[in-house]
Structure 1
Amino acid sequence: MNIAPLENLRGDYAGMATDWTVAQDLDRYSAEDQAVWRLLVERQTALAKEHACDEFLDGLAALGIGDTIPDFDAVNARLEALTGWRIVGVPGLIPDAAFYDHLAHRRFPVTVWIRSRAELDYLVEPDLFHDFFGHVPLLGNPVFADYMQLYGQRGVEAGDKVARLARLYWYTVEFGLIRTEKGLKAYGAGILSSAAEVQHAIGNPAVERLPFEAATVMHRPYEMDKLQNTYFVLDDFRQLFEAAQTRIA
């Protein structure tokens, strides 16, 4: 991802390490921050129970995501035991090279700040709730966890030629749908962390839902600041491994 100049980003980048990570510092979260987290978790968990795939729901249960902002260290003790992944705190958006390197080493960057109450339904930059609730539960699934590491390795190899790989991430990790025995379900973080996107992705008859095909995905542009008009539907998470090996030059 190409990030804006640091002074234009919301996070505090002053104290970060050379790998763009920062300490979480649980004491930084106010009572209002905790209230916002609780509101979001209650709302999105209810929607996830109806519209998320079982693998996501299993991850929510396994990691014990509850009504207080999670302690990254406590989560890592559980997550590492499941799949060998860890989460690392970051101040916000980070450069492609750092992001892909973390993924390639089974580390998922999670923003440490949380949105305000006025931003419950939309914000420009990903925050703690999007990164954690949307992404981390599926890292407890061995198949998806291995795909994420492979994706990171492909990103490291791609260097500057990451535009098409970024589209794969967008249409799978962020906005992916999957067909299951229980019907069409969501697994993408951009869907499952947004009430409006859940209803739109699953229920809107006007949106395009296409069978997943990696070459098609990598040639489909996307827009970041509105509800999606196109979603790609997996039949099985194992399709992602073939997709990650698709030629991107």
Structure 2
Amino acid sequence: MSFTLISNPNSLKLGLTGMLGSVALLLTGTTSAHAVNITATLTADNHYGLYYGQADGSGLTFVGRNEKGASGNPGQFNWSLPETFNFNANDGDYLYVLAWDDSINQAWIGDFTLPGGGSLLSNTSDWVYKIASGANPGESGNVPLLTTVASEIGSATWKTPQVSARQGTAPWGTIPGISSQSKFIWHDSLGYDSSSDRNYAIFRTKVALTSVPEPSTLGVIAVAGVMGWMIKRKQKASQAQ
């Protein structure tokens, strides 16, 4: 990029306007969206798998799950203490929590830290769900195959979860490491229903994840250079008067 020196102080503003336009183009060309860094802390009664991917199920990525069986490791039950995961999703991705129950009570609860200090909590406002066609994997079962989950997502008709309960609700009490504003949520009832819980459920964030674009180093250098040039030219113009 080349700049033409301006000898007439009255035309300084016009010259700077053109250069700032050039810098804007430079910034546009060198600014890119970053990955969306997520810290997720969650648990479920009884089992869950955490994923991220696009709305149609493409790019679906498995992040992690809780313990198999009924016991916690540590913790008395598998839902007693949450797991925490840190990972990078992509702009436009959604978070997915695949969950299923063994018997009696059922729910999951989570707290997700987003870029810029924002947060996303489990509740009936920010999540939707679908009942999958796949069978409940059971107490010691594996999460379904990734291709199977992606297919379920691709054909989903999403609905609003019907029930929630605050932290401290029996039998779960207060789950440490999760916001007091997070809710235990489920699709139909917090008590086991053999007719609706013979399949696993998939919960999805209602809104896609987004990152905050940041200017590249080259763009910052360009702005600094132009600002320095502006100051020098203004000083020379003042001295010439």
Q: Highest Rg: 1 or 2?
A: 2
Could you say which structure has the higher helix fraction? 1
Structure 2 length-normalised TM: 0.25
Structure 1 length-normalised TM: 0.25
Which structure has more relative contact order (CA 8 Å, sep 6+)? It is: 2
Could you say which structure has the higher strand fraction? 2
